[in-house]
């Protein structure tokens, strides 16, 4: 099956700093999503981004499908950005998504 690798596994930032999270995948995919898991465990959809670049406030994401990676940018980080960020890819032939192990982000005040 598809392998999904996220890096770094852990990231500690000071409030106001910028960061880049990376997601590499091993095969062609039809879809890629970024999620934020908050401290209560809820998975929040950040981006549905099979290719190209999208922005939503302080967050943006870029997927280069031909090179099999995606990047999530967080600018001017806030303590509420803390949590685990997951990347998930879908191969529609298989009908199911594969998740990376996540990046745990801690933003300190």
Tell me which residues touch other proteins (CB under 8 A): 30-31, 33, 35, 41-43, 45, 48, 86, 88, 90, 92, 95-102
Measured from the CB atom, the residue of 19 and 85 that comes closer to other proteins is: 85
Measured from the CB atom, the residue of 89 and 107 that comes closer to other proteins is: 89
- Least distance (Å) from other proteins to the CB of residue 53? 18
- Least distance (Å) from other proteins to the CB of residue 42? 6
- Least distance (Å) from other proteins to the CB of residue 68? 17
- Least distance (Å) from other proteins to the CB of residue 76? 27
Which pair of structure tokens corresponds to residue 63?
A: 């997927």
As a whole number of angstroms, the distance between CA 109 and CA 106 comes to: 10
Measured from the CB atom, the residue of 88 and 107 that comes closer to other proteins is: 88
Measured from the CB atom, the residue of 41 and 109 that comes closer to other proteins is: 41
Residue whose structure tokens are 């594969």: 98
């Amino acid at each position: 099956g598809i392998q999904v690798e996220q890096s770094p596994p852990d990231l500690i930032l000071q409030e106001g700093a910028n960061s880049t999270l990376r997601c590499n995948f091993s095969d062609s995919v039809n879809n890629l999503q970024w999620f934020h898991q908050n401290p209560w465990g809820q998975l929040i959809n950040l981006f549905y981004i099979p290719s190209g670049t999208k922005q939503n406030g302080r967050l943006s994401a870029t997927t280069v499908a031909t090179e099999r990676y995606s990047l999530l940018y967080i600018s001017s980080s806030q303590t509420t950005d803390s949590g685990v960020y997951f990347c998930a890819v879908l191969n529609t032939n298989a009908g199911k998504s594969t998740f990376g192990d996540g990046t745990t982000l801690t933003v300190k005040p």
